[in-house]
Amino acid sequence: MDLEITNYNNHFQIKGSLNKLNLKTFNARFSNIFDKLDDIHINIESVDSIDRAGVMALARLHNESITKSKRLSIIGFGCKELYQHFKSEEQTIAVPANAIVAA
């Protein structure tokens, strides 16, 4: 499946495969993104597959956000390869301190 990136304001939805074959599309879309926005959210829920090049592209974006003191959120239960890269042992959901959680 091809890569499709849609957005509304600072929320981006990635669908399809993120790999070295369509990395140009990803890089073009997020080139200098932190010059325009201070805070972006990337939803990877609909990512079918991601290869090493795709993980590295997200890691570069993450590093750019740190360098420029911007905020990057990668959300969604996407590909396990991404969680492994960032050394996350399990997928967690952040719950605000004032949230009411029903069991």
Domain architecture of the chain: domains with CATH: 4-85 (3.30.750.24)
Residue type, 17: S
Residue 103's pLDDT is: 41
- Minimum mean pLDDT range among 11-15, 23-27, 80-84, 92-96: 92-96
Residues 6 or more apart from 12 whose CB is under 8 A from it? 5, 6, 29, 40, 41, 42, 43
**pLDDT above 80 (res 100):** no
Rounded to two decimals, the pTM is: 0.73
Model confidence pLDDT, tens digit, residues 27-75: 999 999 999 999 999 999 998 888 889 989 999 999 999 999 999 998 8
Residue 41, strand partner residues? 11, 73
**pLDDT above 90 (res 89):** no
